[in-house]
Amino acid sequence: MDRRHFLETSFLAGAAQVQTPPPAREFEAGGTGSTSYQVPVTIERRQSGKPHRGKVLAAIQPHCDDIPIFAGGTVLKLIDEGYTGYLITMSDDSMAGEGSSYGDIVGKNERDTMEVSKRLGCKEAFFLKYPNHNMDAWPVIEMRARLVFLFRALKVDTILVYDPSGLYERNPDHYVTARAVEWAAAIAGMSWDYPEHLKVGLKPYAPKERYYFSRGPQLVNRVVDISDFMDQKVLVNLSNVTQGPAGHTGSRLRRRLAAQGKRLPLLGNDDESADRLYTKHFALGRDRSRRRRWGCAQALRGSNRHRR
């Protein structure tokens, strides 16, 4: 029995008794590799050694806190297993966070994102600087062209991004980014798109694996066990002090409670502990609910993983 089959089997046997009915039919719909409503779920565990050495991943986010919250553990795991990682941020992050002016907010978020990239273990952070909250007014074809260039130049094998089919996603930056990435990843491997790239030495190169995450309901066919990376995921999220649910939120809450003569033991005894513990227990509470949902040792990451 190979490792993957064992993990699938053990997971499905355990989970079926709790809440997941076994898929009965129609794993593939449409005849083109599209996904049906019934999909088998694979639990992806940590692998020993460096099985992904030589491979490249791109984690693509509209805003500086998206990858840290929704896929930070998976990026950490994949880089630990040998991937070279790049972080691509699509918006200029000008509309969220604390600062004295538009430029101040952009600068602070940019510095936070560079720290996020460092703590994730990425080799480099790219900033495409589209207008925050307004990316739906920008031609998606231009975003797609820039992404095709990066996928070819960096030889990206694996992408992580919001699910382009995510239900009830209201933030245009999220769904526009996902749509731009979705098709860029397909045509980066074709030879007729952007032939000028080939004239200057680039070659067609398509990402072959995709991890999609979502804020809303999603067809999940893969759950990544990030138990061993949860503490580092907390540190990654703590980099985002200008915006996002982590940063110094915990220490601010601890002080506010102290001013009222109250104390929440869960936040520890100092500011550093309060930030870290608040992030782990509240800001990343979604990971704990995933753990309960899928019955694994600690936090888990759900994602759709597609072949092109």
Interface residues with Zn ion (CB under 5 A) are: 62-63, 66
When the beta carbons of 62 and 72 are compared against Zn ion, the nearer one is 62
d(CA 274, CA 277): 5
| Minimum CB distance to Zn ion, residue 119 (Å) | 18
- Centre a 10 Å sphere on the Cβ of residue 229 and count the other Cβ atoms it contains: 24
Contact 195, 145 (CB under 8 A): no
| Minimum CB distance to Zn ion, residue 35 (Å) | 24
Residue nearest to Zn ion (CB): 63
- Write the CA distances from 109 to 53, 124, 133, integer angstroms: 31, 16, 15
When the beta carbons of 66 and 157 are compared against Zn ion, the nearer one is 66
Q: Report residue 86: phi and psi, to 5°.
A: -130, 140
> Side by side, which strands form the sheet with 124-130?
42-44, 222-225, 300-306, 209-213, 158-162, 56-61, 84-91, 124-130
When the beta carbons of 86 and 213 are compared against Zn ion, the nearer one is 213
| Minimum CB distance to Zn ion, residue 164 (Å) | 15
| Minimum CB distance to Zn ion, residue 66 (Å) | 4
| Minimum CB distance to Zn ion, residue 135 (Å) | 10
When the beta carbons of 132 and 158 are compared against Zn ion, the nearer one is 132
Contact 117, 131 (CB under 8 A): no
d(CA 221, CA 39): 6
When the beta carbons of 84 and 214 are compared against Zn ion, the nearer one is 214
| Minimum CB distance to Zn ion, residue 223 (Å) | 22
- Write the CA distances from 232 to 59, 80, 148, integer angstroms: 17, 12, 31
Q: Report residue 89: phi and psi, to 5°.
A: -110, 125
Provide the total of helices (H) and of strands (E) in the chain, helices listed first. Answer: 11, 10
When the beta carbons of 74 and 221 are compared against Zn ion, the nearer one is 74
